[in-house]
């Protein structure tokens, strides 16, 4: 799945952005919930781009109430039977959980991150974003974390329908 995102999503964007008046060396990606996991993983784990024989073209990442930033910690700690759905994707192997956890790829060369979090989101998302953000701050001391106090999980993405809204302005400010 991640390989499909890099090859058919990001590589295509880099190769075709100019045709749509985009800037090929200024690619930002974002994701909400599990999409935030994928965006963070692709941006931090360069192995996907090495398979394509290209440098990572991502200039920045916007996480929107992201889930799964440390699947190893989540699956190790969770005792909920409902969470067994994640082992279908992430397997039953802790080493695989580590491999698929973006937190494990953060380093001094990590592209800038903007972390957007709902103040009324799910507790697991709040907790794992706090852990991820704490690790990110080691490499990006000024990384922005913006909490929208009255937003639940789904409204965190829904607010982007309003181009005049605060979230939209926050993202544009980050990208400048």
pLDDT tens per residue across span 62-101 = 999 999 899 878 777 777 767 666 776 776 677 787 888 9
Q: What is the predicted pLDDT for the residue at 102?
A: 96
Q: What is the predicted pLDDT for the residue at 95?
A: 79
Q: Mind listing the pLDDT tens digit for each residue in 5-36?
A: 656 678 888 888 889 888 888 899 999 999 99
Q: What is the predicted pLDDT for the residue at 10?
A: 82
Q: Is the pTM of this model over 0.85?
A: yes
Q: What is the predicted pLDDT for the residue at 49?
A: 87
Q: What is the predicted pLDDT for the residue at 83?
A: 64
Q: What is the mean pLDDT of the chain?
A: 89
- pLDDT at position 139 over 70: yes
- pLDDT at position 4 over 70: no
Share above pLDDT 90 across residues of the chain, in percent, rounded to a whole number: 59
- Per-residue pLDDT, averaged over 145-171, amounts to 96
Does 73 or 109 have the greater pLDDT score?
109
CA distance 140 to 12: 29
Identify the structural domains of the chain with CATH numbers, from first to last.
25-175 (3.40.50.1820)
CA 147 to chain centre: 16
Report residue 51's pLDDT band, with 50, 70 and 90 as the boundaries: confident
- pLDDT at position 2 over 60: no
Q: What is the predicted pLDDT for the residue at 106?
A: 98
Give CA torsion, residues 131, 134, 136, 137, to 10 deg: 170
Q: Is 97 exposed, middle or buried (0-12, 13-18, 19+ CB in 10 A)?
A: buried
């Amino acid at each position: 799945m991640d390989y499909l995102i890099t090859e058919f999503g990001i590589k295509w964007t880099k190769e075709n952005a100019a045709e749509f008046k985009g800037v090929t060396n200024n690619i930002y990606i974002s994701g909400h919930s599990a999409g935030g996991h994928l965006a963070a993983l692709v941006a931090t784990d360069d192995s996907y781009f090495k398979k394509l024989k290209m440098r990572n073209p991502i200039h920045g990442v916007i996480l929107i109430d992201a889930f799964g930033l440390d699947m190893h910690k989540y699956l190790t700690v969770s005792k909920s039977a409902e969470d067994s759905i994640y082992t279908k994707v992430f397997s039953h192997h802790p080493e695989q959980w580590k491999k698929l956890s973006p937190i494990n790829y953060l380093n001094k060369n990590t592209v800038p991150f903007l972390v957007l979090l709902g103040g009324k989101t799910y507790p697991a998302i709040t907790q794992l974003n706090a852990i991820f953000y704490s690790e990110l701050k080691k490499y990006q001391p000024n990384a922005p974390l913006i909490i929208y106090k009255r937003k639940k999980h789904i409204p965190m993405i829904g607010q982007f329908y309003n181009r005049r809204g605060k979230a939209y302005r926050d993202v544009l400010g980050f990208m400048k």
